[in-house]
Amino acid sequence: MHPAPSVIIFTTFSGLGFGLLFWLGLGAIKPMGWGAFLWFFIAYAMAVGGLIASTFHLGHPERAIKAFSQWQTSWLSREGIAAVFTLVVMGIYALGALFGVHMGFTGFIGAIGCLATVFTTSMIYAQLKTVPRWRHWSTPAMFLLLSIGGGALFAGQVTVAIVLLLIAAVMQYFAWMSGDGRLSHSGTNLKTATGLGTIGEVRAFEPPHTGTNYLLKEFVHVVGRKHSAKLRQITLGLAFLAPILLLLLPFNHFFALLAVLCHVAGVLTLRWLFFAEAEHVVGLYYGKR
């Protein structure tokens, strides 16, 4: 898949934003007054900013409101509803905090909403049979782990963050390793795509157009094997190892900031890989992976 910046930014930051809101909602920290303003501002900036970024790749963002209508079947619709619901609930909770009122139940509901939002986001990808790499429980698992792990990091929940990031690192490693073979194990290949496998080995000969097209631009993106290995190392280092090491050092605001920055950079790389490495089966028709 083409790693579009808007979608990378969206998944990264809205994940982190909802992760931070999750911890805020659970009351892991209970800032009040201006402090609350600051915390909620950061969380909302990430969550809403991410959502806004996601509209950059829409052809008609002005019609976005229509996207709430199909919650019965569409994960994207559900995500929209979950996000708006969560942001509203958490908004009430934040308002309370601003005025020094801690509404525990509202926060709890909001926190659940955060998980639901991140889960629905992840299901947009995990539901796609067309992208075997994504169609796996590890996709929502990773989205959720990164969201609450990153959220914990932002929220200064050192121990929890260390534990979650550790799990996430292992989980990510597993997702990569198992994901690498998933297209070839999916049963979909050029033979089934063309139905010509009964005759013999099939090879793409001439593409339908010598130029490019929407499908190629959107779905076909080949990452070199070496390049991918290097990026995976960088991801593991930045998103997980560096923050964990920095957290293990005696607490220091600078280190904490560094840990957060490392993590954000790592997750951005991770998401780039998430899209860039995902093989859409339509590529088969074009003789690409």
Partner 1 sequence: MSLDQPNLDTSPKVSDEVRKTTCYMCACRCGINVHMKGGKVAYIEGNRDHPVNQGVLCAKGSAGIMQHNAPSRLRAPMKRVGERGSGEFEEISWDEALKMAVDLLKPIRENNPEKLAFFTGRDQSQSFTGFWAQAYGTPNFAAHGGFCSVNMAAGGIYTMGGAFWEFGQPDWDRTKMVMIFGVAEDHDSNPIKMGIGRAKKKGAKIIGVNPIRTGYNAVADEWVGITPGTDGLYILSMIHCLMKAGKIDLDYLARFTNASCLVNEDPNSDQRGLLLKDSDGQPVVIDRNTGKLAPWNGQGVEPDLSATYRDKGITHRPVFHLMADKYLSDEYAPENVAERVGISAENIRKMAADLARVAFDEEISLDRTWTDFRGKTHTKMVGRPVSFHAMRGISAHSNGFQTCRALHTLQIILGTVETPGGMRFKPPYPKPATAHPKPHGKVTPGAPLDGPHLGYAQGPDDLLIEDDGTPKRIDKAYSWENPMSAHGLMHMVISNAHAGTPYKIDTLFMYMANMSWNSSMNTSGVMKMLTDKNEDGSYVIPNIIYSDAYSSEMVAYADLILPDTTYLERHDCISLLDRPICEADGVADAIRWPVVEPDRDVRGFQTVLCQLGAMLDMPGFVNDDGSAKYTDYADYITNHIRRPGVGPLAGFRGNGDDHGRGDVNPNQLDRYIENGGFWIEHVPDDCAYYKPFNTAYQEWAVKMGFYDVVQPYIFQLYVEPLRKFQLAAEGVGDRQPPEHLRERLKRTMDPLPIWYAPFEDGHVDPEEFPVHALTQRPMAMYHSWGTQNAWLRQIHGHNPLYVPTKIWEENGFEEGDWAKVTSAHGEIVVPVAHQASLNANTVWTWNAIGKRKGAWALDEGAPEATKGFLLNHLIHELLPPKGDGMRWANSDPITGQAAWFDLRVKISKSDVPNEAQPAIPPIKSPVGKGPGKLTWKVGS
Partner 2 sequence: MTQLPSSTQKKLGLVIDLDTCVGCHACVISCKGWNTENYGAPLSDQDPYGANPTGTFLNRVHSYEVQPPNLKDGSKAAAQLIHFPKSCLHCEDAPCVTVCPTGASYKRQEDGIVLVNESDCIGCGLCAWACPYGARELDADEGVMKKCTLCVDRIYNENLPEEDRQPACVRTCPAEARHFGDFADPESNVSILTAERGGMDLMPEQGTKPVNKYLPPRPKDEAPEFDVLAPYLEPIAQDAKGFVGWLDKTLSAMPRGAK
- CB of 191 closer than 8 Å to CB of 197: yes
* Residue 6 touching partner 2 (CB under 8 A): no
Least Cβ distance, residue 1 to partner 2 (angstroms): 8
* Residue 205 touching partner 1 (CB under 8 A): yes
Degrees (nearest 5) of the Cα angle 147, 153, 159? 110
* Residue 219 touching partner 2 (CB under 8 A): yes
How big is the site for partner 1, counted in residues (CB under 8 A)?
A: 8
* Residue 76 touching partner 2 (CB under 8 A): yes
CA dihedral 265, 59, 83, 274 (to 10 degrees): -40
Least Cβ distance, residue 217 to partner 2 (angstroms): 8
Least Cβ distance, residue 209 to partner 1 (angstroms): 5
Comparing CA positions, the residue from 222, 221, 237 lying closest to residue 269 is 237
Least Cβ distance, residue 64 to partner 1 (angstroms): 19
Name the segment binding partner 1 (CB under 8 A); options: 39-47, 100-108, 209-217, 271-279.
209-217
Burial annotation 65-77 (CB, 10 A radius, 16+ → b, else e):
eebbeebeebbbb
Comparing CA positions, the residue from 252, 277, 274 lying closest to residue 124 is 274
* Residue 57 touching partner 2 (CB under 8 A): yes
* Residue 208 touching partner 1 (CB under 8 A): yes
Residues 179-208 contacting partner 2, CB under 8 A: 186-188, 190, 192-196, 198-208
How big is the site for partner 2, counted in residues (CB under 8 A)?
A: 60
Measured between alpha carbons, how far is 64 from 49 in angstroms, rounded to an integer? Answer: 15
Residue 197 CB: number of other CB atoms within 10 A? 13
Least Cβ distance, residue 55 to partner 2 (angstroms): 9
